[in-house]
Structure 1
Amino acid sequence: MEGHTHITEFHKRVKLAGVLLATGIVFGDIGTSPLYTLNALFHPGEVVDPAKALGILSCVIWTLTLQTTLKYILITLTADNNGEGGIFSLYTLIRRYFGKWSVVLAVMGGAFLISDGIITPPISVSSAIEGLQKIYPGLNTVPIVIAIIIFLFVIQQLGTQQIGKFFGPVMLIWFSFIGIIGLMSLFSNLSVLKAFNPYYAYELLVHYPAGFWLLGGIFLCTTGAEALYSDMGHVGRNNIRVSWIYVKITLLLSYAGQTAWLINNGVANELSPFYNIIPEVIYVPSVILASMATVIASQALISGCFTLVNEAIRLGLWPRNRVVFPGTMKGQMYIPFFNWFLMVACILTVLHFRESKNMEAAFGLSVTLTMLITTFLISLYLRIRRVPTLVIVLISVLFLAVEISFLIANLQKLHEGGWIMLVVGGLLTCTMLIWYYGKTAQDKLIAKEGLSPLILQKLKDLSGNEKLRSYATNLIYLTSSSNPESIEKRILDSIFHTPAKRADIYWFLHVHVTDEPYTLKYEAKALETNDVYHIVLHIGFRVEPKVDLFFRKIAAELMLKGELRYEWTEEKKYDSQDFGDYRFVITNSFLSYDNSLPYWRNFLIKSYYNLKLIGVREDVNFELDASNVIFERYPLVFERANQVNLERI
């Protein structure tokens, strides 16, 4: 209860440092969208129609109001899972009420959000670096962009707590800068402010030729709203809400200033409208500042992807990758496999599209799908919170109407490159669903056996049988069972089958990764005092799982409290620690050849085992000392092969 109160207070607090942090890491993606949004809507050499320019500005204003402000800032941020946000946290809140079918929605939303993480660094960095082409016409920006992306991913393993201190101040300068130059340009044509009237948006979408299809480019102004929700646990709900007031004002000024320039100039050129409104005297520093802002935006999105994948691992939706907690910043994490996967994917994206204007086709489609799924999930959450049905229907219809319109407009980008992000999102979705359902199928077929008094007595007898060679003082089995009254049959087979493993004490240790981020507790039950113990270790999903260290602490505490006593032997006086040596036994299954399976089930199970190859073993995941680990493999039989007539000659 104290933890919940602390989380509530954390989200209620509004501090200058928190607002600055929110400005730095939450709004990076949406804050760099002025670099490329209008550039995607006006082609070089196009004669600017004021009706089109004002209609687009009106659509941008109301998209930021309805999608970002109303949907995410005011409504979605209320849905936190013990302080954490993001689509998987939202799924955690509703899964117990709406069954397992909701997992498909969550998986799709998460997959397409990761796809967004692949396209955002290339388009953001490219759009900033392309500003150099005004000074160096014909400059090939691809090598520079790739170099920045490689640098960005290489430094992840070092931790970003040091450079993270500069995120807030740099982004505050960035937002102030885009707001000021936007305001300066706006003074040249204040009439663009009439775009605040939604009538101009209506005119564009309904009456302007092919106006509706411009929504595909207009949507770029709100990309980053989904990532905003994921970062709630880092900076607090109210800090995000307060900082958004300033961020939104500067964004609107930037878009209004660019629109004023477009109407005044009359013709769009090769350079983004953003760079056209920058005074010559500060042009080079502006390109440098824009590059810094895009790097920060990319960094925030990469960190968001790590958080997303870590939650997917916790929910059993992704293979167990190694999660590292570099530096000292609370909750900061680094996932090596995913870091290098994202880096390679980003580099391939740059090599394929080469310029930001080409990437715009692939950008937006995956985020639109994620936003649609979030709308469905948030409507289910509001139902759990007993919000009146009429209110839920009105909210859902409003957001679905907006997002389905964006989706239809974005679908025209399929042949221009949008299909790439759909393929990536589809592959990630299939990977997660195969892992989830494959693991579920495996878990159902793992035989359990009750720890009856007879078995416990047998373990006690084996422990005290000094005629057998001691296998270890402490023999620790990692078990999937949180119930102290039953255990996997394979563990008992491992202990009792020849040669029997004699240990002074048998430990059955279950690691439970909790929905709370920073839990670190344990339950201990003596099934046979000084002979058999069952431990449940509750670890928050943002806590480094140092299971080896935690076990030693638990054993020492049980000894201190008198719940565990080691019998003194002659050898004990030479032990370097009070409780003797210990061995972790990890049992892994493999699909037995003695199986007869339907094709689809055979494909699912084999795919699940193949996906294990991209994960890490439990000893690495739980940070077990390699010298204390024993591996055992056992065959898993789903269905015995049919009897065959084998004839002797």
Structure 2
Amino acid sequence: MKVKRKIFWGALITLGIVYGDIGTSPLYVMKALIMDAGGLNGLTEDYIIGCLSLVFWTLMLMTTIKYVLIALRADNHGEGGIFALYALVRNKKKWLILPALLGGAALLADGTLTPAVTVTSAIEGLKGISIGSQPWINTQLEVNLVTFVILLVLFLIQRFGTSFIGKAFGPLMLLWFSFLAIFGIVNLIHEPLVLRALSPHYGLMLLFSPANKVGIFILGSVFLATTGAEALYSDMGHVGKRSIYLTWPFVCGALVLNYFGQGAYLIKNLGNFKTTGDIFNPFYEMLPSSVYLFGVLISTIAAIIASQALITGSFTLVEEAVGLKLLPKMKVEHPSLSRGQIYIRTINWSLCICTLLVLAYFRTSERMEAAYGLAITITMLMTTILLSQYLKGKVNVVFNGIFLAVFLSVELIFLISSLTKFTHGGYVTLLITLLILLIMVIWYFGNKLRDYLSDEEEWVSLSDYKDVLQELSNDDRIPLYISNLVMLTKVDKRTYKVKRETLYSILDKSPKKAKVYWFVTVNTTNDPYTNYYTVDMMGTRNIVNLQLYLGFKMDHRVNLYLRQVVEDLIENDIIDEQPQKYTTMPGRKIGDFRFIIIQELLSPNTRVRGWQHLLISARIFIQNHSTNPIQWFGLEFSEVKVEKVPLLLKKRRIPAMEQRMILNPKDVKRSTKE
């Protein structure tokens, strides 16, 4: 009984977290297809049946086969999504970084449109509806104002966490999908002939039918039915693949029934439509008047849940990108005790501003739908490329070849058919995609170029200086700087190579005497939840080469990890106790800490020119305008010193000056030649 209850609640939570995006697609897919026909007057029975067939088989091929049956198997210790997938395959080929960057940027950009289009589509259902003699909403401006308020409040509450409302998402989405299925069936029983659309024949015929005025470009609207498939894959880590396997048949069935119900309503009422507003939406029109207001209410709730899922999904996506060093460091907050609850202020307000600007620019859901989906087709293409690399060696070569050929072909067709969206506003999401991609390219390749151009002489072996450090630690002539001096740097665990500036800070910038010198390296692993450390004492009791290994979804709060390491080393008598005479904690064995963070600034004394100089400069600019490393490492309440040092890349040789004259020297001792 307990197992069944656990499965039930797992399935319920999955409904609330995973299916918000794809679950609200019935609000706008058929409406977009009506617009492709030139409006209600352009509809025919063959056109409607063909559209339903295309929608059905798109759901089957793209969502069910590609994502549910294939992509969910490509999990990174339970995590899904394009960055988790990239972490699995990045060691296979270096060029795989390109589809990962492009796909991730497109997915983040498409998210700026999703909340606006879903909530606007829902609120437009209130247009022209009266309570008594007074209409609720008369104009599109009023629709936009209500949508604006809903979206703004949604972004405002993110900082407080959503666990308090998240528990209700599952039951509400269960109600939503049940609503979709029930009223789909109610309309379907009046025109059961729409079930002919289950045959792909009608969809293929429509692509070349004269009834289809836009030709292959109709697939741009059909594709809207499956835009949430990528989010389904990305959210796997929150609920597990088993829960998705259990719930997808129900969700898919509800979606198909509702699409077919809308189609049945359209066929039944061909030539006899009665609209209740400026924009005809078959989703609302097929509802009985007695449940119309409830339909608007539940669709608005579903749209809000879909938007919430997208926002939290964006946080997760960015957190993974930062962990994989594809984006600059950003402060990640945890508004609740739940491990999965995160909040990234920068992303939240960037997404908020972009979404509200999208709402102000497009105004109607009709215009948003015309622009929606272009960027996500790029993400799906990139996911297919990464998936094919993952499948190499895991499945038959023939199967992998068929998978790559089929889905690349289909998604390229979808991409081409969506290109018409570019002139209708699709350029907005593409511009946002390019902006995000530019930041990612600068950060990733800027780091690579910096490491490549670093002069070999800028690296020294820590082992060569351990005697000097021990001598400094025991030098009574120099006052104690701090008990534990922590250098946040990078030490090669095999050669002990460290940047010269690290030791320069300790030895040359007024020697820093400490009882223990800590050289801390944070290593990000391909596994999402790796959490362990290694220590190399280098044959001493006070020089610690600490290597932290953290998964790309783990916090980087170095101070918390370090305190645990210190306690472990003292307990095992690897380092000496550090008793404190003056303390509020009797028996305290750990001394005080000071963290040194070295910040690089590009030196003018460098030979790097042209695009290399531009790339490095842009990378440093992003670094200086992103999250402070103190916040990133969780050191806000620790004693930290940030030291700025010049970044020397291919150091420029300055010619020696010729000495011409020295006037009036005093007491100069001259050597004499014998």
Runs of 5+ in structure 2 lacking a partner?
130-136, 662-674
Deviating beyond 6 angstroms after TM superposition, the runs of 4 or more aligned structure 1 residues are 644-649
Equivalent-residue separation in structure 2 for 1:540 and 1:481 (angstroms): 19
Question: What is the DSSP-based 3-state SS (H/G/I as helix, E as strand, rest coil) of the residue aligned with 1:535?
Answer: strand
Q: 1:88 aligns with which of 83, 88, 91?
A: 83
Which aligned pairs between 1:369-408 and structure 2 lie closer than 5 A?
A: 369-385=378-394, 387-408=395-416
How far off is 1:291 after superposition? 0.7
TM-score by length of 1: 0.94
Matching residue's letter, 1:437: F
- Look up the SS of the partner of 2:206 in the other structure: helix
Verify: 1:496 aligned to 2:522, yes or no: no
How many positions carry a matched residue from both structures? 633
- State the secondary structure of the residue aligned to 1:188: coil
In structure 1, the partner of 2:669 is none
Cα 1:456–1:199 change in 2 (3 A) is same
Task: Note closer, same or farther for the CA distance 1:517–1:645 as it changes in structure 2 (3 Å cut).
Answer: closer
Q: 1:602 aligns with which of 585, 601, 613?
A: 613
Per the alignment, residue 134 of structure 2 pairs with: none
Residues of 2 paired with 1:235 and 1:574: CA distance? 46
Task: Please give the alpha-carbon distance, in whole angstroms, between the structure 2 residues aligned to 1:498 and 1:348.
Answer: 50
Residue 666 of structure 2 corresponds to: none
The aligned residue for residue 304 of structure 2 is 295
Alpha-carbon distance in 2 for matches of 1:39, 1:130? 12
Equivalent position amino acid for 1:402 in 2:
V
User: Which of residues 609, 629, 632 in structure 1 aligns to 2:643?
Assistant: 632
Q: CA deviation at 1:245?
A: 0.3
Equivalent in 398, 403, 417 of residue 409 of structure 1: 417
Q: Secondary structure at the match of 2:371?
A: coil
Give 2:599's match in structure 1, choosing from 582, 585, 588.
Answer: 588
For 2:548 and 2:404, how far apart are their aligned partners in 1? 40
**C-alpha distance in 1 between matches for 2:333 and 2:182:** 41
In structure 2, the CA distance between the partners of 1:37 and 1:78, relative to structure 1 (3 Å rule), is same
Larger Rg: 2
* Residue identity matched to 1:214: I
Out of 484, 488, 499, which is 1:478 matched to? Answer: 488
Match of 2:445 in 1: 437
Shift of 1:324: 1.1
Tell me the distance in 1 between the aligned counterparts of 2:637 and 2:378: 43
Specify the alignment match of 2:151 in structure 1.
149
- Contact kept, 8 Å, 2:606 with 2:652, in 1: the verdict is yes
Q: Distance in 2 between matches of 1:371 and 1:63?
A: 13
Partner of 1:169: 171
Asked if the contact 1:32/1:297 (under 8 Å) is kept, the reply is yes
Do 1:321 and 1:614's aligned partners in 2 also have CA atoms closer than 8 Å?
no
Match of 2:575 in 1: 564
Structure 2 SS opposite 1:212: helix
Could you tell me whether the CA contact under 8 Å between 2:88 and 2:526 is conserved in 1?
no
- Seen in structure 2, the aligned counterparts of structure 1 residues 614 and 242 have a Cα distance that, compared at 3 Å, is farther
Cα distance in 2 between the residues matched to 1:271 and 1:412:
22
d(CA) in 1 for partners of 2:253 and 2:16? 16
Hey, what's the Cα distance between the residues in 2 that align with 1:110 and 1:567?
A: 47
> Once the 2 structures are TM-superposed, how far is the Cα of residue 392 of structure 1 from its aligned partner?
1.2
- 1:11-68 deviation digits (Å, cap 9, x = unpaired): xx98111111111111110000000001111134434211111000000010000000
Alpha-carbon distance, 1:645 to partner: 9.2
Name stretches of at least 5 consecutive residues in structure 1 with no aligned partner.
Answer: 1-12
Q: 1:567 to 1:354 in 2, by over 3 A?
A: closer
- Alpha carbons of structure 1 residues 134 and 495: separation in structure 2 relative to 1, 3 Å: same
Query: 2:329 pairs with 289, 297, 320, which one?
Result: 320
2:9 corresponds in structure 1 to 17
| Counterpart AA for 1:144 | V
Structure-2 residue corresponding to 1:129: 123
For 1:643 and 1:127, how far apart are their aligned partners in 2? Answer: 66
Cα distance in 1 for residues equivalent to 2:19 and 2:238: 13
Residue aligning to 2:565:
554
Change (3 A) 1:644 1:457: closer
User: SS of the counterpart of 1:127?
Assistant: helix
Deviation at 1:563, TM superposition (A): 1.3
- Aligned residue type for 1:564: I
Paired residue for 1:7? none
1:230 is displaced (CA, Å) by 0.4
After TM superposition, list the pairs within 5 Å mapping 1:342-353 onto structure 2. Answer: 342-353=351-362
C-alpha separation in 1, matches of 2:63 and 2:169: 22
Letter of the 1:41 partner, please give it.
Answer: L
2:30 to 32, 38, 61: 38
Aligned residues of 1:319 and 1:614 also touching (Cα < 8 A):
no
Deviations 1:497-539 (A, max 9, x none): 0411111110111122333333332212222433211111223
* One-letter amino acid matched to 2:17: I
Amino acid at match of 1:157: R
Provide the C-alpha distance between the structure 2 equivalents of 1:503 and 1:555, rounded to a whole number of angstroms.
15
User: How far off its partner does 1:333 sit?
Assistant: 1.2
Who is 1:8 aligned against?
A: none
| Percent identical | 40
Matched, 1:219 2:200: no
1:6 is matched with which residue? none
Match of 1:112 in 2: 106
Indicate the SS of the match to 1:97: coil
Seen in structure 2, the aligned counterparts of structure 1 residues 94 and 27 have a Cα distance that, compared at 3 Å, is same
Contact 1:369–1:407 (CA under 8 A) maintained in structure 2 = yes
Whole-Å separation in 1 of the counterparts to 2:583 and 2:114: 59
Q: Is the 8 A contact 2:26 2:259 kept in 1?
A: yes
Of stretches 516-525 and 430-439 in structure 1, the one that deviates more from structure 2 is 516-525
5 Å-filtered alignment, 1:481-560, equals 481-483=491-493, 485-560=496-571
User: How much has 1:79 moved relative to structure 2?
Assistant: 0.2
Residues 217-252 of structure 1 show CA distances to partners (whole Å, capped at 9, x for unaligned) of 111011100010001111011210110000011000
Could you give the per-residue CA deviations for residues 152-184 of structure 1, whole angstroms, max 9, x where no partner exists?
A: 111111111111101110000000001101110
Quote the offset at 1:553 in angstroms. 1.9
| Alpha-carbon distance between aligned partners in 2 of 1:119 and 1:151, rounded to the nearest angstrom | 17
In the TM superposition, what are the counterparts of 1:462-473 in structure 2 within 5 Å?
462-473=472-483
Label 1:512 to 1:592 Cα distance change in 2 as closer, same or farther (>3 A).
same
> 2: distance between equivalents of 1:137 and 1:462?
79
Letter paired with 1:165: K
Verify the 8 A CA contact 2:578 2:589 in the aligned structure 1.
no
Bigger shift: 195-204 or 327-336?
327-336
**SS of residue paired to 2:336:** coil
Asked whether the 8 Å contact 2:372–2:421 carries over to 1, the reply is: no
Q: Which amino acid aligns with 2:14?
A: A
Q: Structure 1 residues 534 and 146, CA, compared in 2 at 3 Å: closer, same or farther? A: same
Q: Matches of 1:72 and 1:416 in 2, distance apart?
A: 29
For 1:236 and 1:614, the matched residues in 2 are separated by: 36
Whole-angstrom distance in 2 between the partners of 1:160 and 1:139: 30
Q: For the residues of structure 1 that align with 2:316 and 2:599, how far apart are their CA atoms? A: 27
The Cα shift of 1:460 comes to 0.5
Verify the 8 A CA contact 1:134 1:271 in the aligned structure 2.
no
Task: Letter of the 1:111 partner, please give it.
Answer: A
Tell me the CA shift for residue 644 of structure 1.
6.4
Task: Tell me which amino acid in the other structure corresponds to 2:634.
Answer: E
Q: Which residue of 2 aligns with 1:4?
A: none
CA distance 1:79–1:460, change in 2 (3 Å): same
Residue 338 (structure 1) aligned with residue 379 (structure 2): no
RMSD value over aligned CA atoms?
2.0
- Candidates 193, 198, 201, aligned match of 1:199: 201
Q: How does 1:207-246 map to 2 (within 5 A)?
A: 207-208=209-210, 209=212, 210-246=214-250
Q: Alignment partner of 2:646: what SS?
A: strand
Cα deviations by residue, 1:122-164 (Å, 9 ceiling, x for unpaired): 0000000000113134352111111111111111111111111
Matching residue of 1:358: 367
Match of 2:182 in 1: 180
DSSP-derived class of the 2:645 partner:
strand
